[in-house]
Structure formats: structure tokens, C-alpha cells
Amino acid sequence: MWKSWEEFALKSRFTVSCLWRRRTIFSVVLCLLLASCGFTNDNLGTFAGDARYNAHLAPQPVAQLPVYNVGDSFVFASGVYLVTETVLKVTPSRITWVGHRGREWTSSRHPHLLPVKVYDLERNYAPGAYSLFPLKDDNYSRFIVKKRVSGEKPKQIVQTCEVVGTETVEVRAGKFWTFKIFCRRDGFFETFNYSPSLGHYVIRQRQRLLRFMRAELVSYSKAPPLKLAEKKPTPTKKQEIAEKPAAKSLKPDAVETKSDAVKTANLSEAEKMKRREISAFFDYQPAKKPVTTDPSYPSPPHPKKFGVQIGAFSSFDAALTAYNSVILPAAPKIFSQLGVNYWYYKIPKTGQTVVRVIVGEYQNRRTANRICGKIKKRKLDCWVNSYN
């Protein structure tokens, strides 16, 4: 027995302390044993030493158009949200995707083009007419979206895309060697880090004034290609016989065209408008990069817009850090109202790509100069740039 309460308290405390230490040591040993098991995930492949983790680091000077299969799945993290994009249907020119809450959309094989519904298009994506692919450094392309509806003024959107460089990036799905693609249209900017070995982008950054979105790849799953049934060759004689009725089928087509015209006349105004929407299409104009004083901003057919440039930096991260830590604190009331854009620009003489920090978006140079004057009073240098 214990001689006093003090002796009992001391020995009890010692016993509890020993038990706690043993429990801690057991927990550490258990963690080490679990770690030694080499836990991996087939869909993620995000652990150093995993073959899939290191399989996407080999540089490729040229990248072909991606090939998607039904069942291909990509999970992206955007802020606190996880979004899964899965291939639902594949045709030679279009890909149908299903995403959050079963929402479906159709796009082309070009991962940097917006979905079809964005342009209200029914027919588009002429195969083999887009010049950005095969991807290689300094590739440039330009295309126009035209929409003609009877009774309305024709609309068009000009979009340009350019390969501004290559870089190795690390996201939650692993490390990837990528082409960096920069696209812009009417004050709207997007940057893609496209992995040729994966056949999809791993980072997508979308920005406009007062809006910024960044999505990075968390995991992926590539489905095996579907095996198509082989077509048996038909004899030559049967093919020759089949050609004659095909030539005679022109008359029935003409009759159907007339009947369609009669049916169209009886349609309601809403249905007629739907038919007219088919006149909207992509007008691909593969072109060489224009040689101007500022090659990153070719002269557009639209009225120019103007922005105020605060500075230029060697990378996007450096530009973002400078804006948040130096520029924004210098005049928070001004910059929080103007919004900010980050533009990639290749210097003509050196070929170096820099990221410009541009604030504001104005219809005329006079307004942009007035805002620049206010910024200079805050002891920051600035100048005005035009864009489309």
C-alpha cells in the first residue's frame, strides 16, 4: 500500500504517462507500416515513384489532336468544388460530355474551343480546317464565328489562339510536361496547359474583368477504344449496279426540297427562328501570325477596346503576386472597381514571353488615359494598350 496520498498520485501519474507513451509509439509504428505498403490509386497516380506519375514528363516537340473514347473521365478542382467531366459520345467531329448533375454539352476535339451551345451553333467544326494543331511552339491561329439570322444584324466573334511556350507543371494528378496555349476573344482570356501524353489539358485558367477561374486536374481515367465491326468488302459488280439508282435519286430529293419549303411556310415564328439558327457556323481562317509592331494583338475587325497596363512580369504567378501584394494595396478603391486581366505577350526582338497586368476596359483611349492619370498620382507607372 501507499504510505501517503502524495506517493499514490506520483505513481499513478507515472503509470498514465507510460501508457500514453506506449500508445504514441504504437501509433507511429502503425503509420510507418501503412506507409511502407505503398498505397496507390489507379485513377490518381499522384505519388512519386509511381510509373503513371512520371509517364507525362517526356517532352514532345509536336502534339496531334487528342483522341477521346467513350468513358474517358477527368476530375478537376476549381476552388472548393470538384467537377467530373466524362465522355458520353464520340463522333469524328464532335465530343459529347456529361458533367455536374448530369449536364451535357457538345464540343469539338479541340480542347480550347468553347462548347457548341455558347455560340448557338447547329453546324460547325469543319474537320481538318483548324491550324493550331499539330501543336508546336509559336503556333498561331485565328477563326471567326459568324451568325446570320434573317431580320437581324449579322454577328461575329473573332478568337485567336497561340502556343506561348512549354513548361512542366505539377497538379494534384501528378507532374506533366505541357504546351501553354493562350486564347482571347473580345476581352475574354483563357490559358490552357495541354499535356500531349495525356491528350487533355491539366490546367485551365479563364479570366475577364472582376472574374477569375482556375481549374486543375485532380484525377483521370482513360477508357479503352471501342472495337468497331469490320465491314466486309462488296463485289465490284454490285457496286457498279448500285451507282445507277444513286444518280436517279436526284429527282426525289428535289421533290422533298419543295415539300420542305411548303412545310416551312406553315411553321410558327418560333419554329422558323430555329430553322434560321442553322445559318450560324464557324468560318475557319487558318492564318499565319500577323507581323506587326505588337504581334500579340493583331488588328481586329471589331472596334478597339483600351486597357491600362501597370507592368509586365516573367510568369503568371509573378504577375499575380505583384498585383495582390504591391499594385492592389497602393490604390485598393481604384483597382477593386476596375478589375484586372493578365495577358501573355511575346516580345518581338527577344522572343521572350511576358505577362502583362492590365486593369480596366474602355471604349476610347481618352477614358483610359484619365484612369491612368489617377493611377500615376498613387506613384505607380502605367500606360494605355489597345486590344479586341
Check which CATH number belongs to the domain holding 171 and give it. 2.50.20
203 close to 169: Cβ distance less than 8 angstroms = yes
Closest CA to 199 of 251, 134, 254, 248: 134
Q: Is residue 278 part of a domain?
A: no
Tell me: the pLDDT tens digits for 78-97? 877 889 999 999 988 788 99
For 256-281, b where at least 16 C-beta lie within 10 A, e where not — what string? eeeeeeeeeeeeeeeeeeeeeeeebb
Phi, psi of 355 (to 5 degrees): -115, 120
Q: Is residue 84 part of a domain?
A: yes
What pLDDT score does 41 carry?
37
Same domain, 213 and 310: no
Same domain, 73 and 175: yes
Q: Is residue 209 part of a domain?
A: yes
What pLDDT score does 202 carry?
94
Which residue among 199, 221, 243 closes a domain?
Answer: 221
Same domain, 217 and 348: no
Tell me: the pLDDT tens digits for 270-301? 554 444 443 334 444 444 554 443 444 333 44
Number of domains in the chain: 2
Contacts of 113 (CB under 8 A, 6+ apart): 107
Percent of the chain with pLDDT over 90: 13
Residue with cell 501597370: 310
Q: CA-to-CA distance for 52 and 41, rounded, in angstroms?
A: 10
Highest mean pLDDT among 155-164, 198-207, 246-255: 198-207
Same domain, 215 and 364: no
Q: Is residue 81 part of a domain?
A: yes
Which residue among 221, 249, 274 closes a domain?
Answer: 221
pTM exceeds cut of 0.75: no
Domain enclosing residue 127, as ranges: 51-137+160-221
Q: Is residue 55 part of a domain?
A: yes
* C-beta neighbour count of 222 within 10 angstroms: 16
137's grid cell: 511552339
Same domain, 202 and 64: yes
Measured between its terminal Cα atoms, the distance across the chain in Å is 91
What pLDDT score does 338 carry?
76
Same domain, 317 and 198: no
Same domain, 321 and 200: no
Confidence of residue 171 (pLDDT cuts 50, 70, 90): very high
What pLDDT score does 374 carry?
87
Q: Is residue 66 part of a domain?
A: yes
Q: Is the peptide bond before 134 cis (omega within 30 degrees of 0)?
A: yes
Q: What is the dihedral of CA 366, 369, 373, 379, to 10 degrees?
A: 170
Q: Is residue 363 part of a domain?
A: yes
Q: Is residue 203 part of a domain?
A: yes
